Structure 1
Amino acid sequence: MKTKKTRILNQTPTPATNQKINKFWNFVNKDDESAELQLFGEISSEDSWWNEDSVTYRDFIADLNALGDKKNINVVIQSSGGDVFAANAIYNALNLNKATITGTIIGICASAATIILMACDKRRIAKNAILIAHNPSISLWGSYTSEDLLELAGRTDRVKKSIVTAYMERLDKTEEEINQIMDVESWYVGQEAVDAGFCDEVIETGFQDNAFSNKFSVNGVPCSFKNYLETVVPDNIRKKVQALSITPPKESGTFSNKNVQKGSNNMGEESTKNTAPVITDAAHLRSAYPEFVNQIVTDAVNTERERLKAIDEIASGIPDDVLNKAKYGEPISAADLALAQMKANNKAGQQTLNNIVADLTDSGAAAVGSTPNAGTSEEDDKKAESEAKVNNFASFLGKDKRRGAK
């Protein structure tokens, strides 16, 4: 029976190579208080895989311990990932170290390498560097039954859980949100990694002490990054990076939509993070959103025209000064104007009646009663009858409680 070998990976595809596998790290002892750790290449598993020359994380931990007590360790990352178990072991080793760990992504930090980044107290990324987060995969060699494959699928899910746990320690996101980020294979360039919470800041220039020109020293050997994209990076990744090279400036303004950028499988797609110009006054608003402002103006003009038209329709009997005040001085609606005029008319009518009663009372007509007919003419009788009606009306008004006390 064939030996079954499995290896759970979390890394981006890399070109096949027959070269000898060397250490993917290099420790540089700067001084008594600080050291630098350079992580370059694939993170190797505990067991030798394709040959006997693989150097594993056990050697890494031995080199880390050999540094002794350091106050600061700067971790420079240029790795497309590798073995999850090895990355978890390095993550825990850095977490247990007493030094302040600063992680700096200079080119790519993908897959399992992002686990190591989460162990850093401070996480930095070059403005054109890339961070990739996605689900782990499993490599198989041998013959497997369906039950074997189902069991391996369950193991892979548990491995993903370990990655999510490391992410949740540093990202201000729920487990569901992190799972979604990994499910869609999320790519972040520079500032996008900061926006997503994977990094704390973007490094513009001068982020590497031992960098000179376009070279880095790895294991004491200068390595040139000239034409790196053209000669080392696979075609599919190079095209995605080049498609992202032109990005609009990020600005904040009055109108903004701060959505969380979770990356995309299609790196040519425009970022879902919306940007908006800075709005400081009406002129800027009109310049930035002319159609929006014109629509507001049109609606306002139409509304005012309808208000003036409605006032004109009820203007009959309303004094001009009242109309002008309602239209232009202290603008009100036609309905409010009509109600105000009704109240004014009622008050004026009430005052007129009060004046009539006062005049009748002052003249003494209300106190004069009717006298029996003593042979007066018919004309005198009608006059007396009219005066009696007026007197009764005045007396009635004076007693009418609805008009209020005088």
Structure 2
Amino acid sequence: MPDNKKFWQFRNSVDNTVELLLYGDISQTSWWGDEVTPRQFADELAGLGPLDKIVVRINSGGGDVFAAQAIGNQLEQHPAEVTAKIDGLCASAATIVACHCNRVIAANDTTYMVHPVRIGAYGYYDAEELRKYIEALAAIKESIVSLYVKKTGRDRDEVTDWMDATSWWTAATAKENGFVDELVDDEATVVENRGGMLFVNSINTGLPFNKAPNFVQSSKAAPAAAGGFVNKNSHKEEENMASEIKTVDDLRGAYPELVGKIEEAAAQEARNAERQRIQDIEEMCLPGSEDMTNEAKFTKPMSAEDYAKAVVKNAKKQGDKFLAGMAKDADDGGVNGVEASAGAAGGGEKKDEFMDALKAMGAKK
């Protein structure tokens, strides 16, 4: 399996107990239509043999709902006692995994977030296709609401309102609302603003820092992060991150906001250049060259400089053709065979070559 598809890690398997680490995005790609990756997870879980306890350590801003549902259901159906341990952030699809666990424990300074279901659609769609997407969103939302109601014991309308409002909670509020069963005092959660993105315990949540609620932004670790990273292994992590960025997709995953700004700036520059190219071509258009101009602008695009050269060549070609036509007309009319005639008797008058040519042409008829 490609490394970029595996986002989980089973570790510390001792005495029929294992930890499942879910740090970062829950799948970079959707598990919808993917049979290989879910099977890989199931095979790894089964390969651990009989287990008494599974501890799911979560620090994630969410990800693919289908991946979260598949993992959550496999954990819920497992005979072992499954406990979710929130180490930093549990948001979006990560909450689905947590709610499938038998018990949820959160450190006091961690954060919980639920929000409306979203779908990423790329391309062009007609009304019927969009309607199907909306129906799919509604169905997915209902399944998540049912899971939340089962976990919290709260009213369906109340849970739906929480989702629709995009609710950010402290661990204590999440416990009050029924999503967390126990609070513990662990090591302080490290919240950082790295390039405008929210990092929790060195994990990119995929969420803009300025979109996080005030209690997250103003946490005790956030100010220290403004001037640099507070983690002791931060330099090593930055080196590892740099070594892992080998493709455009890697860069986009690590710095989505920066890549987005670069791409938008490049797109705007390209749009401006194209408008200028078309304007320059239109300003050089000569009467009779409309077809060539349209080709240069659209069907056979060329730069304004190349178009200018083409216009000069075409004008020279047309000029040569015109002069050749004039010479042929003169030959056909006999003008080139007319010799100069003597002046009228009495002399002294200026010879009119034009009239002489006309007379000569009349004499040949």
CA distance in structure 1 between the aligned counterparts of 2:46 and 2:203, rounded to whole angstroms: 35
Q: How far 1:47 moved relative to its partner?
A: 5.7
Alpha-carbon offset, residue 227 of structure 1 = 7.8
More helix by share: 2
Alignment check: 8 A CA contact 2:25 2:206 kept = no
Task: Please state whether the residue corresponding to 1:106 is helix, strand or coil.
Answer: strand
1:379-404 CA distance string (max 9 Å, x none): xxxxxxxxxxxxxxxxxxxxxxxxxx
Indicate yes or no: 2:179 matched with 1:203.
no
Runs of 5+ unmatched residues, structure 1:
1-18, 208-212, 215-224, 247-406
Tell me which residue corresponds to 1:90: 71
One of 61, 66, 70 as aligned partner of 1:80: 61
Residues 99, 226 of structure 1: CA spacing in aligned structure 2 closer, same or farther, 3 A cutoff? Answer: closer
| Separation in 2, partners of 1:119, 1:157 | 21
Q: Distance in 2 between matches of 1:86 and 1:36?
A: 18
Match of 1:112 in 2: 93
- Which of 150, 153, 177 aligns to 1:172? It is 153
Residue in structure 2 matched with residue 27 of structure 1 by the alignment = 10
Q: How far did 1:176 drift?
A: 1.0
Equivalent position SS for 2:4: coil
Aligned residue in 2 for 1:58 = 39
Q: CA deviation at 1:32?
A: 3.0
Aligned residues: 209
Q: Secondary structure at the match of 2:112?
A: strand
Quote the offset at 1:87 in angstroms.
1.1
Asked if 1:126 is matched to 2:138, the reply is no
- 2:208 equivalent to 1:234: yes
Provide, for residues 168-226 of structure 1, a one-character-per-residue CA deviation record: whole Å limited to 9, x for no partner.
2211211111111101011111211101110011121269xxxxx98xxxxxxxxxx89
Q: Is the 8 A contact 1:24 1:39 kept in 2?
A: yes
The CA RMSD over aligned residues, in Å, is: 3.2
Give, as a single letter, the amino acid of the residue that structure 2 aligns with 1:175: R
CA distance in 1, matches of 2:160, 2:41: 29
Aligned CA distance change for structure 1 residues 240 and 48 (closer, same or farther; 3 Å) = farther
User: Which amino acid letter does the alignment assign opposite residue 163 of structure 1?
Assistant: I
SS of 1:91 mapped into structure 2 = helix
Paired residue type of 1:41: G
1:46 aligns with 2:31: yes
SS in 1 for 2:109: coil
SS in 2 for 1:69: coil
Q: Which amino acid aligns with 2:104?
A: R
Counterparts of 1:176 and 1:232 in 2: how far apart (Å)? 29
Cα–Cα, structure 1 residues 61 and 237, in superposed 2: closer, same or farther, change >3 Å? farther
1:94–1:143 distance in 2 versus 1, CA, 3 Å:
same
CA distance in 2, matches of 1:140, 1:230: 23
| Match of residue 20 from structure 2 | 37
**Does the C-alpha gap of structure 1 residues 137 and 98 become closer, same or farther in structure 2, counting only changes over 3 Å?**
same
SS of corresponding position for 1:187: strand
Which of 119, 126, 133 aligns to 1:138? It is 119
Structure 2 unmatched runs, 5+: 191-198, 221-365
Find out whether 1:245 has 2:228 as its counterpart.
no
CA gap of 1:135–1:228, structure 2 versus 1, over 3 A, is same
1:160 aligns with 2:141: yes
Structure 1 CA distance for aligned equivalents of residues 18 and 214 of structure 2: 34
Q: Between Structure 1 and Structure 2, whose CA radius of gyration is higher?
A: 1
- 1:207-226 superposed matches below 5 A: none
- Sort the Cα spacing of 1:113 and 1:227 in 2 relative to 1 into closer, same or farther, 3 A: closer
Q: Give, in whole Å, the separation in 2 of the partners of 1:193 and 1:58.
A: 32
CA distance in 2, matches of 1:65, 1:236: 41
Give a deviation string over 1:251-278, Cα, whole Å, max 9, x none: xxxxxxxxxxxxxxxxxxxxxxxxxxxx
